[in-house]
Structure 1
Amino acid sequence: MTEPIRTGPIRYATAERFARPRPVPAGDTRPSTGEICPQLPSRLDPLMGAPHDIHPQGEDCLNLSIATPGRDAGARPVLVWFHGGGFSSGAGLMDWYDGGALAAQGDVVVVSVNYRLGALGYLCLDGVSEGNLGLCDQVEALRWVSTHIADHGGDPGNVTILGQSAGGISVRLLMELPEARGLFRRAILQSTPLGLTSRPRKDSLDIGRTFAAALGTDPRTADVPELLAAQRETALANLRRSGSPMEPAFIPVAGTDPLRGPDTAFDENVRGLDVLYGWNADDMTAFPGEGDDPAEQTRRVYEKPLAQFGARLARAGARAHTYRLDWRPAGSPFGATHCLELPLLFGTREAWRGSPMLGDAPWEEVAALGTATRETWLTFARTGTPCPAPAPLVIGPGPM
């Protein structure tokens, strides 16, 4: 396979703190800072390992990267990736999410997107922030792709959006936003905990006030370390409130523009859409404290809500397909856990070196299963129907 061209970081938008993003003016040729959104260490470091690459953190973080086989008139399918991390950690610029293997194997263009996280992206507080700014960032990134991806060898009329965990929640919400209509034609949701898709505005405002009290100063002028310290205190308070180690403190807010209320335009938006969704057989081993039976918790948090979602997609006229990853790497105590499909799709051997969830599996095993998994995703991006895959990846038409 020919090594793809990697471009980035590229600034796709700018935003003042707690304001909606604005597209970069056509005459603005300043290079990107390469910043990622300020964040605390990920709660999934014990599972994934700490990232080996370090990026500057700052609020000029609306950046993306591109992997393409050629900057030509190839009009290739485009895959736009929204990372997970509980709306509080992660970045599209991380080496984990390098799209080079997908781009080379499938002759496609892969775009990996940063968006605002934590309080900067999802604080709901009267007079300060309306919430859902990270979701607004994602819409702006899709608009950038629509305008500019042809310059990178991509077809703006054949865009698949895909996301894992919180990124999958983002994909789910983008599927019903009128602002995102027409910006993509296919969607992939990976291990998406649909029960955490959004929170009522009243509860979000309560959490916003908890954050403001922990901060003790104006969120609009506080420095970043103060914001992150208050985020940590708010996460602890939310844990006491919810009893769930899995539930983030900052998530999308229901009933807030651009989320104009539950189910506002779902049927109309998804009619004719191609959707692939699924989960890993042992997703919940990543979240100790949620229950004594990870298998039952995985069914409750992932399998059952996704099956209900698939049935609703079918009723609305979408074409839905499912997957389940049953791979349990030798020597891993986590089994087919949350995030395990990521090294099968993205990144390199070096990016995933020492990842605890991979256990003792030789990279040759990861690479072979990765080739098959990528082919399934790539066929879906090209045709709307995933190709059959060898075990331990199970593909099905509609809810399993």
Structure 2
Amino acid sequence: MTRSGTGPARAGLSDTGPSGTGLIRSGPLRYATAERFGRPRAVPAGDTRPAGGEICPQPPSRLDAVMGPPHDSRPQGEDCLQLTVTTPARDDGARPVLVWFHGGGFSSGSGLLDWYDGGALAAEGDVVVVGVNYRLGALGYLCLDGVSEGNLGLYDQLEALRWVREHIAGYGGDPGSVTVFGQSAGGISIRLLMEMDEARGLFHRAVLQSAPLALAERSREDAEALGRIFAEHLAARGESPWTAGHAALLDAQRETAVAHGRRSGSTLEPPFGPVAGVLGRDGAAFGGNVRGLDVLYGWNADDMTAFPGEQGDPAELTALTYAAPLAELGGRLVRAGARVHSYRLDWRPAGSALGATHCVELPLLLGGRDAWQGAPMLGDTPWEEVAALGAALRATWLGFARTGVPGAAPEPLHCAEGPVPVP
């Protein structure tokens, strides 16, 4: 349904919403452009080129056995620095804004997927929801001398937040009330944005969902070693990182992942991700960035059941990988002057052997029945139960986005002011 009276039409922008919702979902919108292995550049004012809804070239997700594969298909390409905006109205409502950074181990996913439709949040909370694409895998996180400095996906996210600051008022949002929320790799990204001088003032609240902070960064030395392995695999095929096609890039990325697994012994840690020391920081930015920030963080009680290749008891692995590093961050945030709330989600859908696994909160917050149909992690739980618990969990997140204090927590969610003690 095309909406009228919501501002001038622009090439590449579709203002549509499901009939009867009263919502407008705009996009995909291009927020930046980038050459391969180059930093993103803001889209110039007046740029009217259509955005084709591309997502970063990627392999199938390693979590298909948990989430199921996405039901919607998107073209893959490097013109992927795009986002969507879902809003109740394009007016001067100055609504709180929630900006979503998806997970996927820095190798898969997209903010454009139906999984991450923010319509329910926007409608129930009278807020504006932004879903962001960023570069993944080697295209986003290769660290190789003379080719890529690393952390380009983080710089993409930074540019998306700048776009929100400059443009979101035109979509009914308040650039002075921005909550970033992200799951897994998206939560790690938010954690690292807290360290970037350039990110100061671009967001005012933050939600970190099941962010495995123990894997937040790797040393530059290790990242460069992996970059050389990647380049060697391409060279063996007569290819260069600069000119290789996407299939060749993904093949070399897969082989690098195998080599990294042998070196690290971990099936959880991705071969390409954020690199320490590349952001040009010494820790001094953190205090200034988080002072006065409202932060909600937490994990799912059985996060590690999603990763059966990891050896050990899932409960102990969950505490080690998620709970303990998040609690350590919570203490550091409090000492720096942030206001902290924490949570643990214990929801175990009927008929699922995975329990309160990694990603299980996503259908409660984003997307709808069609997007999540058949997701293994939901077992045989009726959608009506998912929808009812989802409405309660969304109210908790929306309360936090509006006031910095979570709303009333539904039964399987345990919230606390300050860091949650590690079980």
TM-score of the pair, normalised by structure 2 = 0.93
Give the structure 2 partner of residue 25 of structure 1.
Answer: 44
Cα drift, residue 264 of structure 1: 3.6
Partner of residue 181 from structure 1, selected from 175, 185, 200: 200
Equivalent position SS for 1:188: strand
Looking at structure 1, the residues matched to 282 and 249 of structure 2 have their Cα atoms a distance apart, in angstroms, of 30
Amino acid at match of 2:308: P
Are residues 1:57 and 2:76 paired?
A: yes
Are residues 1:240 and 2:262 paired?
A: yes
> Is there any run of 5+ residues in structure 2 with no aligned partner, and where?
1-19
Give the structure 1 partner of residue 129 of structure 2.
Answer: 110
Give the structure 2 partner of residue 268 of structure 1.
Answer: 288
Looking at structure 1, the residues matched to 412 and 135 of structure 2 have their Cα atoms a distance apart, in angstroms, of 35
Partner of residue 326 from structure 1, selected from 346, 364, 367: 346
Equivalent position SS for 1:351: helix
Give the structure 1 partner of residue 320 of structure 2.
Answer: 300
Deviations 1:223-276 (A, max 9, x none): 1111010000001011001100000000111101xx124524111211110000
Cα drift, residue 26 of structure 1: 1.0
Give the structure 2 partner of residue 87 of structure 1.
Answer: 106
Deviations 1:293-338 (A, max 9, x none): 1011101111111111101111110000001110000100100000
Looking at structure 1, the residues matched to 348 and 310 of structure 2 have their Cα atoms a distance apart, in angstroms, of 21
CA contact (8 A) 1:254 1:261 kept: no
Same amino acid, percent of matched pairs: 72
Q: Which runs of structure 2 are paired with 1:340-379 in the superposition (5 Å)? A: 340-379=360-399
Give the structure 1 partner of residue 8 of structure 2.
Answer: none
Amino acid at match of 2:252: A
Equivalent position SS for 2:395: helix
Looking at structure 2, the residues matched to 23 and 179 of structure 1 have their Cα atoms a distance apart, in angstroms, of 14
Q: Which runs of structure 2 are paired with 1:217-296 in the superposition (5 Å)? A: 217-256=239-278, 259-261=279-281, 263-296=283-316
Comparing 389-398 and 7-16, the one that deviates more: 389-398
CA contact (8 A) 2:195 2:283 kept: yes
Partner of residue 334 from structure 2, selected from 287, 296, 314: 314
Looking at structure 1, the residues matched to 325 and 123 of structure 2 have their Cα atoms a distance apart, in angstroms, of 34
CA contact (8 A) 2:195 2:281 kept: no
Looking at structure 1, the residues matched to 280 and 290 of structure 2 have their Cα atoms a distance apart, in angstroms, of 17
Give the structure 1 partner of residue 27 of structure 2.
Answer: 8
Looking at structure 1, the residues matched to 194 and 176 of structure 2 have their Cα atoms a distance apart, in angstroms, of 16
Looking at structure 1, the residues matched to 146 and 312 of structure 2 have their Cα atoms a distance apart, in angstroms, of 42
Equivalent position SS for 2:65: helix
Give the structure 2 partner of residue 129 of structure 1.
Answer: 148
> Structure 1 stretches (4+) deviating beyond 2 angstroms?
261-264
Distance of aligned partners of 1:250 and 1:262 in 2 relative to their CA distance in 1, 3 Å threshold: farther
Give the structure 2 partner of residue 45 of structure 1.
Answer: 64
Comparing 284-293 and 368-377, the one that deviates more: 284-293
Give the structure 2 partner of residue 138 of structure 1.
Answer: 157
Equivalent position SS for 2:115: helix
TM-score of the pair, normalised by structure 1 = 0.98
Cα drift, residue 391 of structure 1: 1.0
> Is there any run of 5+ residues in structure 1 with no aligned partner, and where?
none
Looking at structure 2, the residues matched to 243 and 133 of structure 1 have their Cα atoms a distance apart, in angstroms, of 26
Give the structure 2 partner of residue 397 of structure 1.
Answer: 417
RMSD (CA atoms): 0.9
Partner of residue 182 from structure 2, selected from 137, 159, 163: 163
Looking at structure 1, the residues matched to 200 and 48 of structure 2 have their Cα atoms a distance apart, in angstroms, of 29
Cα drift, residue 146 of structure 1: 0.3
Looking at structure 1, the residues matched to 306 and 283 of structure 2 have their Cα atoms a distance apart, in angstroms, of 30
Looking at structure 1, the residues matched to 311 and 405 of structure 2 have their Cα atoms a distance apart, in angstroms, of 35
Amino acid at match of 1:98: D
Amino acid at match of 1:388: A
Amino acid at match of 1:99: G
Amino acid at match of 2:266: S
Cα drift, residue 61 of structure 1: 0.2
Amino acid at match of 1:380: F
Equivalent position SS for 2:100: strand
Give the structure 2 partner of residue 100 of structure 1.
Answer: 119
Looking at structure 1, the residues matched to 71 and 84 of structure 2 have their Cα atoms a distance apart, in angstroms, of 18
